[in-house]
Amino acid sequence: MRKPLGHWDVPCVLATTLSSFLLLSNPSPRATSVARINKVKPVRCPCLDLCLYPVPVSALHPGASHTSFTTTHAIPPIPSQITGIMSTNGTSNGHAASRRPLPCGIYAPTMTFFDPVTEELDIPVIKKHAERLVRDGLVGLVTMGSNGEAAHCTREEKAAVTRATREALDAAGFAQTPIIVGATEGSVKGTIDLCKIAQEAGGDYVLLLPPSYFRAQMDEEAVHGYFTAVADESPLPLVLYNYPGAVSGIDMDSDLLIKLAKHPNIVGTKFTCGNTGKLTRVAAATDAKTPRSEGSGYMAFGGMCDFTVQTLASGGSGIIAGGANVMPKVCVKVWNLYAEGKTEEAIALQKTLSRCDWVLTRSAVPGTKQAIQAYFGYGGYGRRPLKRLPEVAVNSIRDGIKEVMDIEKSL
């Protein structure tokens, strides 16, 4: 029997075959949302006295062909010998059981730190930084993103960074803090391989850009095919990464993102494009999770902290922000103020945060690392060919974010 639900975020399906059926417990909003997105209506099962949503099993596990039903009511827990075959990796692939959920709030795409002379990974500093961020209120971390210089790291180094981050969080008492891992490669096969490496290193989810090397061939059909093919095989759920500046201008529109959201192993999007209108449309169509509602469990992430309030007002779920490497407490404060209904205070602090975050955005990875160096005593440099900034530029960055860093120190 094919292992069912390898890509479900929460087991909640009555899976039937021609001759047998399997009961899985604990219904989830994400599961019923997939039924809703696929436009199916509930039916009543008189034998079990349950309200059921008929869903093609291809929506649950690609390649399967029998009919399945997502339940809107809990089914009693099933024996361990059955739950043991729930997925291909021995865990539930999403927001339940052994997988750490993605909470609403602020995440940082962590920097990858190197020895300033040899450019080898500086694992102790990588661990120190991860611990500082979660102690300052971040709800999750992203390794091997753009700020993590994924493009400069080997597969072995990527795994080492994620593994070190997981070890640091666990040792500091943050074992439930999720890690999203950047896992993009140019081919479907390479990306699937990297997703598996991310899982083995301790990642909970993967963050994927669209492929862009052969830009002229990457039309909407090709991009859709890439993500669905990876989602079919990845042992970790996917968060899509819409960042046109990093992929030769490929900018996924809301129609494509909503279409991709129908795949049960695609659980979110990061909008580094900064298009809050697009974020609003996707969040509404997917019934995204917010501070006030679990919704479907889909995560709509703003991609920079300079539009935190705008993301919340648009129905967003969280922020994955490079600036949170430097001023995590202020990022969290803006989020919490708005979520608590203190709108005017949130907007006022957002203005300060946006002014200072622009200093970091302009100076990119080298500037962000030097800001960390100036205020926290570590940071260093990016790997070549990234340039080392002259002293005048470093001083300008330090002075340019002083306003927000004074607030950071007061929190």
Which member of 127, 158, 259, 270 is catalytic?
270
Integer Cα distance of 179 and 205 in angstroms: 7
Q: Is 262 a catalytic residue?
A: no
Bond from prior residue into 385 cis (ω within 30 degrees of 0)? yes
- Find the helix packing angle between 155-171 and 188-200, rounded to 10°: 30
Integer Cα distance of 180 and 409 in angstroms: 28
Q: Which of 140, 3, 121, 113 is nearest to 63 (CA)?
A: 3
Three-state secondary structure call for residue 46: coil
| Cβ atoms 268, 239 nearer than 8 A | yes
Integer Cα distance of 178 and 103 in angstroms: 9
Three-state secondary structure call for residue 16: strand
Residue that the structure tokens 């929506």 belong to: 59
- Find the helix packing angle between 123-135 and 155-171, rounded to 10°: 50
Q: How far is CA 254 from CA 38, 99, 301, in A?
A: 17, 28, 14
Nearest-10 Cα torsion for 382, 385, 391, 396: -70
| Catalytic residue list | 270
